[in-house]
Amino acid sequence: MTVTEAPLLTVRDLHSYLATGQGVVRAVDGVSFTVHAAEVLGIVGESGCGKTVTCRTIMGLMPARSVHTSGEVIYHPHGEQSLLGATEHEMRSVRGSQLAMIFQDPMTALNPVLTIGDQLVEAVRAHDRCPNREALARAVGLLDRVGIPAASRRMRDYPFQFSGGMLQRALIAIALASSPRLLLADEPTTSLDVIIQDQILSLLLELQQDTGMSMILVSHDLAVISEMCDRIIVMYAGQVVEEGAAADVITTPRHPYTHALLDALPHAGQRGELRSISGSPPSLIDVPAGCRFAPRCRYATEECRTWETALVAAGERDHAARCRRLDEIEEGRDTWQPSDSASA
pLDDT in tens, 158-181: 999 999 999 999 999 999 999 999
DSSP labels, 131-147: -HHHHHHHHHHHHHHTT
- Please, which pLDDT band fits residue 223 given cuts at 50, 70 and 90? confident
273: which residues sit within 8 A by CB, 6+ positions away? none
Query: Is 246 strand, coil or helix?
Result: helix
- Asked whether the predicted pLDDT for residue 56 surpasses 70, the reply is yes
pLDDT in tens, 266-281: 765 666 667 788 888 9
Domain 7-229 in CATH: superfamily?
P-loop containing nucleotide triphosphate hydrolases (3.40.50.300)
Burial of 113: CB neighbours in 10 Å, binned 0-12, 13-18, 19+: exposed
pLDDT in tens, 248-262: 999 999 999 998 999
Name the β-bridge partners of 42: 217, 232
Task: State which H helix or E strand residue 71 sits in.
Answer: strand 67-75
pLDDT of residue 268: 59
The lowest-confidence range among 35-39, 158-162, 232-236, 323-327 is 323-327
pLDDT of residue 2: 46
Please answer whether residues 201 and 147 qualify as being in contact, where contact means their C-beta atoms are separated by less than 8 angstroms: no
Measured between alpha carbons, how far is 262 from 329 in angstroms, rounded to an integer? 15
pLDDT of residue 334: 47
pLDDT of residue 340: 46
Measured between alpha carbons, how far is 219 from 191 in angstroms, rounded to an integer? 12
Q: Write down the domain spans for the chain.
A: 7-229, 236-328
Alpha helix locations (H) across the chain?
A: 51-58, 88-94, 116-126, 132-145, 151-154, 164-175, 194-211, 222-228, 246-251, 256-263
Average pLDDT over residues 178-186: 95
End-to-end Cα distance, the chain = 43
The lowest-confidence range among 13-27, 194-208, 324-338 is 324-338
Instruction: Give backbone dihedrals phi and psi of 207, rounded to 5 degrees, phi first.
Output: -65, -40
